[in-house]
Structure 1
Amino acid sequence: MHEKLDQADFRSRIAFVGETLGPFFLQDPVKGDARAAFEAVAALDPHEAGEEWPFVSDEHAERYLALMTEGLAEGVDNDDLVWEYRRLFIGPAKKPAPPWGSVYTDRECVVFGESTLALRRWMRENGIERTTDEKTPEDHIGLMLVLLAWLADAKPELIEQYLGDHVLTWSSHFLEQLADVAEQPFYEGLALLAKESLEGLQSELEIEVEYPRYYR
């Protein structure tokens, strides 16, 4: 285990990233359970919050948080925000950047592909049970961020393997695409902040990743 994972502060920063960002990929701003989280971001001072955000430079974190607060300037109930979430993550139209890893790494570009099954096997082998949302494939970026936070609290010795084998293999590729197709600043900022947070964590832990071929 990396020596930094012995530090409670380092684990708490990892948990903060996963707990804070994960719900925004999983929850509808209006119908979901994350309304308070959206409202908390709306009230942020991007400069102050950027100085505190872990694993990302202050300047970049401020820029991405400013995009997120801009996207919330008209309130959580704003139609543009709500419909953008549904366009990006729900459908029914074809999603411009699907949030599941196997869509990018599986030759057939399918949900529940081999990378999903590999993550499921890894979770089972390490005694990790799903506690919410049994229908969504395990390699949904939101679920993976929430699991990262859980690992930081419960099984920190697994973080490097989880990131190196299951998250970082596709997260930057997907999140860059998501930022490109987002038409609402909140989700552009969210994608960029998540991307650089994971990449910053990769750098701090010195994780070497074997990147797969992308089919999308």
Structure 2
Amino acid sequence: MDENMQDGRDMLEGIAFVGETLGPFFLQDPKTGEAGAAFQALAALDVDAAAAEWPFAEETEAHGDLALMKEGLARGIEDDDLVWEYRRLFVGPAPKPAPPWGSVYTDRECVVFGESTLALRAWMRAQGIERLVDDKTPEDHIGLMLVLMAWIARNRPEVLDDFLRLHLLPWSSHFLDELAEAAEQPFYEGLARLAKASLEGIQSERALDVAYPRFYR
């Protein structure tokens, strides 16, 4: 196999790994969600070994971020501290300190289902990519977009750069900075920092020129 072709496949596999590994942590309640096995695996993680293998982020940065995540799980997944922090950040009912939807930051009215959400929906429809969730859930949730990134890397790699450049990268770093600042539990601070480092590393590796919007929040 041509070496460049193998490198390209390895990069796509790394992108899929990032999306599949991190996406569920933004989407799933630590106690009642479907990612219990992933939380348990992270709680038992060898941070040194994982940081050395983590794609797209510098080893020292990945080590610090993974250590924060493991620290947050050290009290156990059943600890209500982690559960309530997830619900405070991503569920409500109180106003969320860092809402996980892109249009909240890029739409002048700071609304869910804003213009960027509709643009992503139209792009997915044009590409024949099915929604991952029901019509009532905005497609531009960070967790959904990470999972979708993984799916595209595995199934539609020819449109991956457009997805990243046009729909995910324009707002992800801004949001993840907001989330890291808002997090009061080390797991979610580490998650935000690792996701940011990974996405920015992907952007660099794929040499993507991203036009950043004005942020209204």
**Same-fold call, TM cutoff 0.5:** yes
Q: How many residues align?
A: 214
- Once the 2 structures are TM-superposed, how far is the Cα of residue 136 of structure 1 from its aligned partner? 1.8
State whether residues 28 and 82 of structure 1, in contact with CA within 8 Å, keep that contact through their aligned partners in structure 2.
yes
- 1:6 CA drift (Å): 7.0
Residue 135 (structure 1) shift: 2.8
Which aligned pairs between 1:123-134 and structure 2 lie closer than 5 A?
123-134=124-135
8 Å contact from structure 1 (residues 101, 171) kept in 2 = yes
What's the secondary structure of 1:169's corresponding residue?
Answer: helix
**1:163 aligned onto 2:164:** yes
Partner of 2:137: 136
Asked if the contact 1:5–1:156 (Cα under 8 Å) also holds between the matched residues in 2, the reply is no
Q: How far apart in 1 are the matches of 2:75 and 2:134?
A: 30
CA contact (8 A) 2:132 2:144 kept: no
Q: CA deviation at 1:131?
A: 3.4
The answer for unaligned runs of 5 or more in structure 2 is: none
Q: How far apart, CA to CA, are the structure 1 residues paired with 2:39 and 2:115?
A: 33
Seq. identity, %: 68
Alignment of 1:1-216 (within 5 A): 7-216=8-217
SS of alignment partner, residue 7 of structure 1: helix
RMSD: 1.2
TM-score w.r.t. structure 1 length?
0.96
The secondary structure found in structure 2 opposite 1:132 is coil
1:8 Cα deviation (Å)?
2.0
Runs of 4+ in 1 over 6 A off after TM superposition: 3-6
Deviations 1:132-190 (A, max 9, x none): 35432000000000000000110001111100000010000000000001000000000
How many Å separate the matches in 1 of 2:136 and 2:14?
Answer: 29
In structure 2, what is the Cα distance between the partners aligned to 1:149 and 1:66?
24
Cα distance, 1:88 vs structure 2: 0.1
Q: Distance in 1 between matches of 2:207 and 2:155?
A: 21
Cα offsets for 1:11-39 (capped at 9, x unmatched): 11010000000000000001100000001
Distance 1:124 1:97 in 2: 28
Measured against aligned partners, the alpha-carbon deviations of 1:107-142 in whole angstroms (never above 9, x if no partner) come to 000000000000000000000001335432000000
Question: Take 2:16 and 2:6, find their aligned partners in 1: how far apart are those partners?
Answer: 12
Give 1:47 shift: 1.2
Shift of 1:4: 6.7
